[in-house]
Every structure is written in structure tokens, then in C-alpha cells.
Amino acid sequence: MALLEIKDMNHAFGGIEAVAGFNLHLEGGELNGLIGPNGAGKTTIFNLVSGFYQPTGGQIFFRNTNTAGLKPHRITGLGLARTFQNIRLWPEMTVLDNIRVAHHYSLGYGFLACIFRTPTFLRREREVTTAAYEILESLNLKDFAQELPKNLPYGLRRIVEIARALATRPALLMLDEPAAGLTSADLQGLIDVIRMIHQTFQVTIWMIEHQMQVVMDLCQYIQCIDFGVTIAEGTPDQIQNNPAVIKAYLGDDTFQCC
């Protein structure tokens, strides 16, 4: 049983075909990359898989469930989490609350239980807090539990966002440019964190990344897309030497610059 199976996925914004015939098969346990020049359709693919857009063609199966028509929070509940290119933490809630709210999928109590403080409510609140502290501890963020994300340095916010995604207990974690905006000093730390998460949380990771250092260092298998079409796929070595990829990134050598 495959974890994620994408078959011939298409998506068009009006007349523009942002994604054309995209295929992917994740068995579970991989650490795969998705690269491509700006505007290639990488984030669109993530938005399609996480349920923000509905594909105009093709199918997505996550853990053998067809995700067509499911709201994003339902897909997250199935075990798929993602981060964003521009960090989207809740800036005015403490780091701990950020992590706790990400447990909504499994709260298991409703409004009335919350008002009457039923035993289920009290037990779940305790469990959620413990689980949140465990995640923070495993990523060395425990000292920042009571801080507001807006007061944290940028690199740390990235890690907190990944921690929040992990709070939904995903089987598949999709990282959208985790290294964007990081200094080269933060970069190695991020690589270590992602590798650690991949191993200790036993989560499949699928990431979009521009920083070649990160991609080549981490990913086992890489797909490269351009104008919505998959132009190459293979191991980091194969991708690095693929003429189509070089052409997509650096341009055609017949192209004359004025």
C-alpha cells in the first residue's frame, strides 16, 4: 500500500496550465525532493495535495483514500501535514499554544464538554499539553514554550513551524522551502533537524527546496519540474548532471542576453 499516489494530476488557472500530468508514488519512509525554477508549479502541487485547490484532472490517493473534495483539515487528519514557504505560525499565540492547537484533529471533545469541563475534556487537555511538550523537547524548543513566535529569530520560527506540523502526527510531512530566508549558519542546523525528524519520527518527508546544498544533502530521490511538467527525476547525482535541469535553471545557451 502506497502512502501517496498521484496519478496524472492537472491543474489550470484559467487558461494557464500550472500543473500538467504530474505523477508521484511514495511508498512511505522516503525523503524526496521537488525542485524547479520559480513559477514552475511546485507550491501549486503542494496546495493540490493538501486540499487547498481541487485538481482539474487526475487523482490523488493518500493512504488509499481519494482526497478529492476533502477539506484541508480532513486531509490533515488523515496524516498529511505541511509547512509554508512564508512562515505561517500564529504570531500572537505562545509556541506551546501553537503546538496545542495543531491537535484539533484528535481533540475528541466538543463545545459542551469544553464548557462543562467533563472528564474527557480534562484528560485530553492534559494529554495534549504533554504531547506538545514532548514535541518541543525533541526539537530542543522547550525553553521557548512560552514565547510568542513573533519574538523569535527567523531560523527558530522555521523549526517551530515544523514542530507544529509534527503535532498533527503526520505520516507524510511536506516542507515548502524550509531553507528559504535562512542564513548559511542556520542551514546546517536545519539539515540536521530534518534528518533527525525523518529518523526519529519515522515520517516520510517530501520537500520543495531551492537551496541545492539542502536538496543534494538530504534527498534520496528528486523530481524537477518546469512549467508544470516533470522534466527530470532521479537521484541527486543524476539530477545534477541532467542537461534538461541545467537548461531549466540556467536557460538555453542559444538565448541571447541584451
Partner 1 sequence: MKQFSIPAVLTVTLVTLVGISLGEGINLYWQDVIMFMGINIILSASLNLVNGYMGEFSCGHAGFMAVGAYVSSLVSVALFTQSSLFGAPILSSGWAVPLFPLCLLAGMAAAAISGLLVAIPSFKTRGDYLAIITIAASFIIKSAIENIKPIGGARGFMGMGQVTAAMSGTADLPWMMFWVFLGVVFTIWILRRFVSSTYGKGILAISQDEIAAEIMSVNTNKMKIVAFMLSSGLAGLAGGLFAHKLGYVNPGSFTILKSTECLVMVYLGGMGSLSGSVLSAVVYTLMLEILRFVIPWINDLLRWAQLIPTDYQVTQIWKWVLIPLLLVLLMQFRPEGIMGRHELADYFPWIKKFYRFR
Q: Site residues (CB under 8 A) for partner 1?
A: 50, 52, 71-73, 76-77, 81-82, 84, 88-93, 97, 100-105, 107, 109-111, 114-115, 117, 121, 124-125, 128, 164-165, 167-168
Q: Are 40 and 209 within 8 A, CB to CB?
A: no
Is the CB of 111 or the CB of 255 nearer to partner 1? 111
Is the CB of 102 or the CB of 245 nearer to partner 1? 102
Shortest Cβ 232–partner 1 spacing (Å) = 29
Is the CB of 76 or the CB of 223 nearer to partner 1? 76
Shortest Cβ 134–partner 1 spacing (Å) = 16
Tell me which amino acid residue 256 is.
Answer: Q
- Element holding 6 (H helix, E strand): strand 4-13
Is the CB of 124 or the CB of 158 nearer to partner 1? 124
Q: At what angle do helices 119-138 and 154-166 cross, to 10 degrees?
A: 130
Residue 62 has phi, psi (to 5 degrees) of -115, 120
Tell me which amino acid residue 48 is.
Answer: L
Q: Within 10 Å of residue 250's Cβ, how many Cβ atoms?
A: 10
Can you give the C-alpha Rg of the chain in angstroms?
A: 19
